[in-house]
Structure 1
Amino acid sequence: MTQRDIFLVANEVNELGGVGRWQIQLATLLAERGHRVTVVGIAPPHHPMDLGERPPFRTETLYARRPPSRPRPRRLLGSADPAVRRHEAHMRKAAARLTELFRAARPGAMIIVPQVWAMEWVALADTAGHPVIGMTHESFDTCRKSSRFQRVKKYFAPVDRLLALTQEDADHWVGEGLTNVDFLPNPLPFLPDTPSPRSEKVVASIGRLSHEKGVDMLLDAWAEVAPRQPGWTLRIHGSGPAEQQLQQQCADLGLQDSVDFAGQTDDVPGALRASSLFVQSSRGEGFPLSLLEAMACGVPCVAFDCAPGVREIITHEEDGLLARPGNTMELARHLVRLMSDQHLRDTFGERALHTVRRFDPETITRRWEELFDFLER
């Protein structure tokens, strides 16, 4: 196996969230296999994750403070607008540090860019001939509805490989005219020794309390569930900008006795082992780590089928249940069905333990190394 210099260039080194957790896990997996890994952030994190005392990779951040957004050029001046030129000069100065890092790397180095904002700086740097792998960590449909869509097509079109998270999303990007597309799923974040006994009357939800995660829709569904399943608790782990609004919604629906806002947890496996079901009510997703985590703990999942990554992880009626996106009545019916049937919960949970192993970290890391070898040819 070739030991390589690998650069992960992201928006931030250790931002709390799915992409941040993914990049730290991948950096650790690659470092443990003997690669020399550097994680470069463009800006400091808003909500930092703890990397521990001695992470097995180097870190560097280009800016001490988050840089201002790119100004819109005035119509008559275009790219000659002084504000635009000052901003680009500022970006080029920061990108020069990337050039230094890339030029100092050994032959066979790889540059991985998991976010398009970070790619704007990599595009200004001299990559010293090293292959560049871009990534999009959201579904094609979610990206298409955002301002990132045109930027992904612009900045990732020239890279050596653009990775989606599923074959279905990769095919959509090919349909947009990109010819460098492949896919690689996220690896399992952990493999616990002890799965959930599925004995507690708890339905768990884990994620940021934001509009995108759809906890408001989950509460609407729970208003249908709670009267039919007394004694059960919906335990919501997470924090975020919608927390106060969601707590008010919970009170308005009269659900305080059956809903527990448990706050952000540092012990995800423990939270999952203390539950018998997991529910995800997101409006959009990429390849959700929380579903992988729940299934790795033997906890069957109920989720909105809001993205190819969701149905890639959950097989409906085999190891979990999928509801049509936004259909809270259907989500409620699925929850009631599993809450009222211990045998079905156990059957789905045991299957989940088995099927989720296809995303084993060793398997996914080996696929990354196979991609590195292919791009070096």
Structure 2
Amino acid sequence: MHQMARLFQRYGHRVHAVGVHRADLKLSLPEDLGYPVTNLYPEHPPTPRPVRGLRRLDVRRRRREADRIAEKKRVVDRLSELFATARPGGILIVTQVWPMEWLREADTAGLTVIGMSHESYEYSKACHRYRWIKHNYPSVDRWLTLTQEDADRWIADGMHNVGFMPNALSRLPDEPSPRDSRTVASIGRLHDQKGIDLLLDTWAEVAPERPDWTLRIYGAGVEEEALKAQCTRLGLDGSVRWMGRTDDVPGALAEASVFVQSSRGEGFPLALMEAMASGVPCAAFDCAPGVREIVQDEVDGLLAPAGDSGALARQLLRLTGSAQLRDTMGERARENVQRFSEEEILRRWEDLFDFLES
């Protein structure tokens, strides 16, 4: 969201970033963003819990639910006041489907509403967000997936007003990685979606063949303890480094010769784009249209079937075993990923704004 906000602001748009609640994991952002940021709740709002029956034990539940509804009304009124400052001609971009719960009750008259989904069709359909999308997004002026392939899947599923908009590449480092270290990097939350458990299974096949290589895992999250225990069980403590969260992604990539992504599901992964922009060749699970849109298999990176740790291990063995392959794919990756430059993606946004205004 902040990347989009900075992009729009840089090209002359007035921006106000609104979050449902204050972030659990803080990003390192400039002290003065140059645009206001509003959190609707100080922490994650309560989940609606229907109260059934008339038993005395339900009194406290009823009170909590009444308090939740009253607070939600205050939040919706606050949203309506914020939206009033954007009229006429303002555009609301909802970067995740969850905030539509509040947006649908707010006064958006005179504003254009654009909804977004940052997951593939398949990943959304496998979880509760599929119902949210089907319920909330038919009412918006336009809703955007990250790839044409995903847009087509939603259209075939009966949705209308669907388009697509890739993420923008936030930076192109002045110098690519020298690719002279024996380091494989992974960057992402330590969460089931990111498949770090699958990465450890993969590395268990790579490490014996590449005893002089190290896997650096950048990220933090709720699964950290369990993943470190898995690492120990697999006998990988000597070749895996847990780097924690990093605010210096370019620095982490400059010290890597190979990047690996082991996600179970993705949208249009920025970490993959940033690795390619740094000239670091990638091996990744082909888990979403966005991944194969970014990585051209056997041209500027290597893909493996989703969830197949053995196949991903074989791709990593290819990249770690050949400096020539790393250099060739790294150079192609740095060049090819520039088709997602900020200038190109902003042009697409401006074309969309013009279309919706006409």
**Shorter-chain TM-score: what band?**
over 0.9
What residue in structure 2 maps to residue 111 of structure 1?
92
Give distance in 2, aligned partners of 1:74 and 1:139: 36
Deviation at 1:263? 1.4
Query: Which of 230, 237, 253 is residue 211 of structure 2 equivalent to?
Result: 230
Out of 113, 118, 133, the position equivalent to 1:132 is: 113
1:169 is aligned to 150
Q: Which residue of 2 aligns with 1:63?
A: 41
Equivalent residue number for residue 360 of structure 1: 341
Alpha carbon RMSD of aligned pairs, Å? 1.7
**Which shifted more, 175-184 or 104-113?**
104-113
Map of 2:126 onto structure 1: 145
Q: 1:147 Cα deviation (Å)?
A: 1.1
Provide the rounded CA distance (Å) in 2 between the counterparts of 1:84 and 1:155.
Answer: 23
Q: Which amino acid aligns with 2:50?
A: R
Matched, 1:49 2:27: yes
- 1:269 has 2:247 as partner: no
Percent identity, aligned pairs only?
Answer: 54
* Match 2:18 to one of 35, 40, 50: 40
Q: Contact 2:218–2:245 at 8 Å: present in 1 too?
A: yes
1:74: Cα distance to partner? Answer: 3.8
CA gap 1:350/1:240 in 2 versus in 1, 3 angstroms? same
- In 2, Cα distance between equivalents of 1:75 and 1:358: 58
Matches of 1:211 and 1:374, distance apart in 2: 39
Q: Secondary structure at the match of 1:304?
A: strand
1:260 matched to 2:241? The reply is yes
3-state SS in 1 of match to 2:107: coil
- Counting only pairs closer than 5 Å after superposition, residues 230-249 of structure 1 correspond to structure 2 as 230-249=211-230
Letter in 1 for 2:272: L
Whole-angstrom CA distance in 2 between matches of 1:139 and 1:303: 16
- 1:94 aligns with 75
Do the aligned residues in 2 keep the contact of 1:111 with 1:130 (CA within 8 Å)?
A: yes
Question: How many positions carry a matched residue from both structures?
Answer: 351
Is the contact made by 2:28 and 2:247 (CA closer than 8 Å) also made in structure 1?
Answer: no
* Residue identity in the other structure for 2:307: G
Asked if the contact 2:3–2:170 (Cα under 8 Å) also holds between the matched residues in 1, the reply is yes
Aligned pair 1:342/2:323, yes or no? yes
Q: Tell me how far 1:107 sits from its aligned partner.
A: 2.3
Q: Supply the distance in 2 between the matched residues of 1:325 and 1:193 (Cα, whole angstroms).
A: 33
When structure 1 is superposed on structure 2, of 178-187 and 53-62 the one drifting more is 53-62
SS at match of 1:37: coil
User: How many angstroms does 1:90 deviate by?
Assistant: 3.0
- Aligned residue for 2:57? none
- The residue type paired with residue 32 of structure 2 is R
- Give the match's secondary structure for 1:157: helix
The Cα of 1:54 is off from its aligned counterpart by: 0.9
Tell me the CA shift for residue 93 of structure 1. Answer: 2.1
Answer yes or no: is 1:211 the counterpart of 2:189.
Answer: no
Q: How big is the shift at 1:43?
A: 1.4
Is the alpha carbon distance of 1:203 and 1:243 closer, same or farther for their aligned partners in structure 2, counting shifts above 3 Å? same
Q: Give the equivalent residue in structure 2 for 1:220.
A: 201
Displacement of 1:84: 6.0
- Cα pair distance change 1:65/1:276, threshold 3 Å: closer
TM, length-normalised to structure 1: 0.89
Deviation at 1:337, TM superposition (A): 0.8
Which aligned pairs between 1:191-210 and structure 2 lie closer than 5 A? 191-210=172-191
Partner of 1:325: 306
The equivalent residue for 1:5 is: none
Shift of 1:64: 2.9
- More moved, 264-273 vs 90-99: 90-99
Larger CA deviation: 157-166 vs 85-94: 85-94
Q: Any idea what SS the aligned residue of 2:203 has?
A: helix
- 1:82 to partner: Cα distance: 8.3
One-letter code of the match for 2:9?
A
Alignment check: 8 A CA contact 1:204 1:236 kept? yes
Distance in 2, matches of 1:237 and 1:104, equals 40
Contact 1:304 1:326 in 2 (8 A): yes
| TM-score, scaled to structure 2 | 0.94
Deviation of 1:85 after TM superposition, in Å, equals 6.4
For 1:232, give the aligned amino acid. W
Provide the residue aligned with 1:9 in structure 2.
Answer: none
Letter matched to residue 38 of structure 2: E
- Structure 1 residue matching 2:74: 3-state secondary structure: helix
Q: Return 229-238 or 348-357, whichever deviates more.
A: 229-238
- The amino acid that maps onto 1:168 is E
